[in-house]
Structure 1
Amino acid sequence: MTDTQDHLTRLAEIAPDSPLAQARATRQAATDGIEASYQRLFAPQDVGGFGIAERLLLAQRISEWHGDRQLAAHYAQLQQAQPADGPRLQAALDHAERLAFKPAGAEAKHLQALQQAGWSLDDIVTLSQLIAFVSFQSRLLFGYRLLAGLPVATSGRAPVRASAWRTASHTASGRHAPPAFTSQELGWEPWIAAKPLEAFDEPGKALLTKFGHADSDYFRLLARDHAVLEQRTITDRAIFFTAGGLARQDRELAAAVASKVNGCIYCASVHARKAAQLSKRAEEVQRLLDVAPGGILSEGQGEDWRTQIDFAAALSATPPQANAAQLAALREQGLGELELLDLVQATAFFAWANRLMLTLGEPYDD
């Protein structure tokens, strides 16, 4: 088996020959992509205007808000200097806290506040990636520890419920905004400028073209930090587009569940549609989308999906609330270690994806 002594192996205390280690080795491309994303964010070749001291302090605070004291200690130990206090750092902390607890509460004015505090557009994108990545990272660690039978902090067994979402009738630019979750195809507009393709250097153009994203405002916005975008895209594909393990429709379902918890209408529309197409269970997918704020997401679902939905919703909460009883129920359904790893990683990834979509722009349906 390939040795995977990445930072998550150390932080989650994964035993080398354990079923979890073997499952992660089977998903080596995802393991490598996650590690490379971490390195691009915290040991980049070019930090730009976003220094390492700021990055580590923000990561420590985000880890604390997501309830992972070990991860917070990891980032604290890496700090060799304290960033300067002031409006710039405070604006970033305020933004990170908002995205930790109420990501659907992000608005265009919050990005304007970051710019007014001295953040460049490129650094706002990297900041958004960092906030979202640590949200993903903390849920991976929680899920890995749960799979390994290690103790995790959880406040109870009550189901995690659907959260509120944006209800404004129009976007910041005046386009019609979707009033509710839907599986229909939506558009998305950025709150800060996506660079035109011709403005990128050759590596940036090559990256966007390689992954088929040259015409996407969203990806041309994220490509302001194309080193991070490249590894994030590799990680995404390695989590969702791999053979064996959890059925693809169930990975897409987990993405839709996380999006309901986080209030991301756009992400839910994409992944609910895929779940419905692959599973041929459109009515059940629509039932999930129709759950009102405060409702139980698994209400009215079949036993297989009810158990998966409850687990994915609990892992998506801030801090995560998944527990050993939920995991045992999944095992009783016949899910093995690789399938459970796929469920954890697919769910956790949408702590990253949702927070990017919600913090950098908004959907429209006209």
Structure 2
Amino acid sequence: MITALYIISFAFVSIIFIVSLSNLFSAPVLKIKSSAQNKLVSILIPARNEERNIQACLDGCLTQTYTNKEIIVLDDNSTDNTLEILNTYSYKIKIINGKQLPEDWLGKNWACSQLAQHAQGDYLLFIDADVRLNNNAVESAVEEITLTNSALISVFPTQKIKSFSEWLIVPLMNWLLLGFLPLVLVYSSRNKSFVAANGQFMLWRKEIYDKLGGHSSLKYEPVEDMEFARICKSKGIKLKTLLGGKLIFCRMYSNLKEAINGFAKNFFAGFKTNAIGFLIFISLISLSSLLPLIIWKNLYYSAILSTMIILSRIFISIKSNQNILMNLILHPFQMMMVFIIGIISIYKTKFGKLEWKERKI
């Protein structure tokens, strides 16, 4: 039994080690670039109960070096002070009062669709209210989409992690991304398996977005960013996915409950597999990443596997601009959280228990 577990662990740990090492040197990172482009960029922000985020988000948008832009925010029937804060910016931005959510739509998709209908830009930049932009972020993204001739540029922001509960969960996003996907292949390979996108920052060429049907084509899709990426891949449309580096930041959650609910919302759905297959996967990756650190029956193999696990966490932490020591110390607990949140995600998805922004999904 132990031998079989070692073989499984060796397979998964080796994959994570090789992929994370590859990403250390090749994963694209958005860097400062000057752009000669002067096409209009529509910065589109859906906001529902974002009183703690919206001001800092807008301040970052307004100070962009890219000057030909419009900023449109949709207040999605907020019950807090979001609209009051937005009104203080009314002379600088366009504010839309969101319509009531139709039964056959999910909230964010509906909000983004309404935003796109009001946008005049040649480029549509969808960002979440918790995203923070360096002054050069938009200009750099526009130049990136121009140089690569992509239809879509998507960015995984550098995560700001402040509390212990966030450290247990938030680093898992980049661990899964950079441990299992050579990120450079999202752009360079036609293979449909190499796909990733993040709805926190998505810059579209408007004509391609419209041609694909926009968010109305994915009305009830909970992981719309990944589905957009899959559609692009299937149609041979170029997309590029990058890390935020020092240009795009985000603090996704502020406490344990938010982190669990947020991660569970997309975890199972994002894999596009059945519950049994997903359960097997999360069991194997959690066990494989824990076993060599716990069982030392074979000293040689355990030492090799433990070394690869440690190095993988170092590689991914460096590329993600995360604290290496924190990720190493909390690695066993984070791997347990992979399994726990995976179970929660299956349960809530199958029994209609998923909620976000006080709405059922």
- TM-score for both structures, normalised by structure 1: 0.29
| Larger gyration radius, structure 1 or structure 2 | 2
More strand by share: 2
More helix by share: 1
- TM-score for both structures, normalised by structure 2: 0.29
